[in-house]
Amino acid sequence: MKKRLLMSGLVLLLVWGSYHALVWLGAQRTMNQLAQQWSEHGDLRWEGVRTSSSGQVKVQGLQWYWFDITQPVTATALHLELPGPVALLQALWRGQWPDQARVQLESVQLQLEPDLFRPWARARPSRLKGQPLLALAACGERRVLAPTDFLQMGIDRFALNLTLTYDQAAQRSLGIDLDAGYLGRLAGFLDLDQQDIMQWAGATGEVPAAKSASLRLNDGGFMGRLATYCAAREDKTREDWVELSSERWVALMTEAGTVPTESLQRFYRHWLSQGGELALEWQPDPEQRAALGERASAQAWLQAQGLSLRHNNERVPEPGVALEPGRTPEPVIAEPVRDPELERIARYYDSELERAAAWIDRRVRLTLTSGRVLEGRLLSRDDTHMLLHKALEGGEMMLPVPLESIKGFAVWRRGDDPGRPMPVPEESRETRWLERHQPIPLPARPDDPGDQ
């Protein structure tokens, strides 16, 4: 009896050890294959593999050294969960993936720095610049955000957690939960074939097309940061920047042959100014999509795409575009071409009175309605006056200038200098009192020639 129990224990121990060894070897083999497939783009490394008896395996300490950037993309762990031990072994050794799976990337991080992209990557044109739906319409000379932009917005790293769930039997087979912290959160489902997902993971370079989608995006306050930053780069108030950005976006979309409806334009303005939560339902009709010609009305496009949009729990009516490739866009004031070298030269730049708080302690030039021109250092601004410090031969004087008498306002600065951050107004008694009193002046900048 003891021998039988001992033999049974040895057999169980052998089976248990063999299973964990096979899972460990299979995980290493799969990671090596994945690293080989992505070797043209970078170097994939990992510290170790931990196995489990319940159909799970965890790869720890991942590091992705993308050749185009100077910092590695790191992840604490990659979790793979399948229905059982047998399914896990078949997936790792035979490539037979089950109809259900769960993948989780934990604590993915990328440290940002000004020179994150290497010279050959910076010289390569961005794909987003040719996409009017995604490119920035008004953010200084920017069309795509660079690492320096995120750093100036107070974001020094990208950090996210990603969970993918796959269920072939479900109507929406691929579930996504992407929590990107400061950049927001995306959750929902896509209807994708398993073959498309595997080809995507195999570094084919092609993003699979979903048959349908149900997604929910929360910006996490990022749109507020973006609006404040881009408005400063354009030297405009947030309200004026929203209008300018919307006008340029409509012009870019029209030039691309897709004319947004009035409802979609209103939604775009609200999204830029408010951000918040966006819910999207997409159920396209393949036959109607195939029947769309070069020209189509917004209603026909909406019926073919099956698109439904909600912004902050309010339905966006008719969020579509009309296809008019032959349409000539209305003339729009083009953004001036900016030379990076010239941007570093200090000179007078026209600004708006509403943004005077960004230029406290800077040299300014005021053009009055009487034609008189005043130059000096801006000390403060309240609801009715600007206080100017003016140096004289025999001393100095403080000159209050009524806002109603100011016709032009210019600031001595570099072209790439957006000034100090503007305070975001809040509806509170204390904040309203503080908004009337501008910040304490900072020391003069080295490139400021001083009062004249």
pLDDT digits (tens, 9 = 90+) for 255-266: 888 888 899 999
Strand pairing class (363-368; 42-45) = unpaired
What is the per-residue pLDDT for 114? 85
What is the per-residue pLDDT for 163? 94
Indicate whether this model's pTM tops 0.85.
no
Least reliable range by pLDDT among 119-128, 153-162, 397-406: 119-128
Locate the domains of the chain by residue range.
2-111+156-218, 238-323, 341-435
What is the per-residue pLDDT for 342? 45
First vs last C-alpha separation in the chain:
105
Q: Exposed e or buried b for every residue in 154-183, given b needs 16+ CB within 10 A?
A: ebeebbbbbbbbbbeeeebbbbbebbbebb
Helix (H) or strand (E) holding 248: helix 238-255
What is the per-residue pLDDT for 197? 62
More confident residue, 326 or 178: 178
Residue-wise pLDDT tens digits, 202-218: 544 455 566 788 999 99
Mean pLDDT of 422-432: 46
Helix (H) or strand (E) holding 254: helix 238-255
What is the per-residue pLDDT for 289? 76
Residue-wise pLDDT tens digits, 45-102: 999 999 988 889 999 999 999 998 999 999 999 999 999 888 998 988 988 888 889 9
Least reliable range by pLDDT among 205-209, 283-287, 420-424: 205-209
SS (HEC) of 165-204: EEECCCCCCEEEEEECHHHCEEEEEECCCHHHHHHHHCCC
What is the per-residue pLDDT for 133? 62
What is the per-residue pLDDT for 440? 41
102 and 170 in contact (C-beta within 8 Å)?
no
Q: Average pLDDT over the chain, rounded to whole?
A: 80
Domain 341-435 classification at class level: mainly beta
> Cα–Cα distance between 48 and 236 in angstroms, integer?
52
**Cα 405 from chain centroid (whole Å):** 42
Strand pairing class (213-218; 321-323) = unpaired
Least reliable range by pLDDT among 126-130, 319-323, 419-423: 126-130
What is the per-residue pLDDT for 335? 41
More confident residue, 127 or 432: 127
Residue-wise pLDDT tens digits, 191-201: 876 666 665 55
